[in-house]
Structure 1
Amino acid sequence: MRLEMRTCFGAALFLGIVCAIYWFWSNEDTGTACLLFSFCAYALMGSYFFLQWRRRKGVPRPEDRDDADMNDGEGEIGFFPAASIWPFGIGLGGIFLAIGLIYGMWFLVIGGVFVVGSVIGFVVEAEAREEGPADPGMPITTTGDNPPVTSFQVPSSHSQGA
């Protein structure tokens, strides 16, 4: 996070200086506002990276260390649903929202319903994944007299109240 943090804070510093010079030189409001919002955006990203670095208590990631090799960065990165219909719903809702700006309020309502429903579905799909092998339906255990259990039959941690 250190490299990202320094890059964002450097860009924020540059944009802040340019914003001040631009405002004093041109006294124009629109360009000054754009530069000011750009400064704020980079400062916000830099602050986020700083807080992530502080949360890790200054322990560098493998990407930040000069002596790291490829094996230091291995492991699970995260869960990303491979085949999902929800991004299509978000895009369709965005189209309806854009059409609603032109043709009327009722398109905005339809687009809002599509976007909100699809975002909720996408979040629920990512959170409700089954714990088990990477290939759903493959046997997890085959012990003794019990038939093989598949990952479809294993309850997730969310359904157990944990």
Structure 2
Amino acid sequence: MRTEAQLFAGVTVFFAVTATGYGWASEDPAGTAVLVVAFLMAALVTFFLTVQYRRRGPRAQDRKDAEVADTAGPLDFFPADSAWPITVAGGACVMALGVVFGVWLLLMGLGVLGLGVFGMVFEHAGRHSPPGSPADGDVDEAR
């Protein structure tokens, strides 16, 4: 993730310089605000990738002496089919209709949407990651 962090650091610097120059040269507060927000979002991604690199160490893709076999192994958990996304979409549709037809329908849609989000969040709550997977938090000791 070191390379990705460096790339996003470049994007962060670009938006910082652009926002400063644009804010100084123009008197457009909306454009300046948009560039500042873009700078902050790029800085957030840069910070996240830097922390992940320091926490997990170099990946096989970050090393020049790495082999293809170094990236082999279990990837992570991939969930099966789920009905919760359809529940969330239905709740959002009923909420949108509630804006048109009345608060009572909006509240019903909010309930269905809340149920769907709750179901999606806690569907796999008791699941454990396979040992050695990236979600497990273990870093390969053989590196």
What TM-score range do you get, normalising by the shorter chain? 0.7 to 0.9
Match of 2:89 among 88, 91, 109: 91
TM-score (norm 1): 0.68
Q: Which residue identity is paired with 2:21?
A: I
Q: Gaps spanning 5+ residues in structure 2: where?
A: 130-143
- Cα offsets for 1:48-88 (capped at 9, x unmatched): 111111212xx211121222222211222221212111122
**Identical positions, percent:** 35
Pairwise CA RMSD of aligned residues? Answer: 2.5
Residue 34 in 1 paired to residue 39 in 2? no
- Structure number with the higher helix fraction is 2
Residue 66 in 1 paired to residue 90 in 2? no
Match of residue 53 from structure 2? 53
Shift in CA distance, 127/32, structure 1 to aligned 2, threshold 3 Å = same
Q: Gaps spanning 5+ residues in structure 1: where?
A: 132-162
Bigger Cα displacement from structure 2, 97-106 vs 85-94? 97-106
Instruction: Say if 1:79 and 1:126, in contact at 8 Å, map to a contact too.
Output: no
Q: Which residue identity is paired with 2:2?
A: R
Shift in CA distance, 22/84, structure 1 to aligned 2, threshold 3 Å = same
Instruction: Report the number of matched residues.
Output: 130
Match of residue 44 from structure 2? 44
Q: Larger relative CO (CA 8 A, sep 6+): 1 or 2?
A: 2
Query: 1:79-158 alignment to 2 at 5 Å?
Result: 79-100=77-98, 105-129=103-127
Shift in CA distance, 8/104, structure 1 to aligned 2, threshold 3 Å = farther
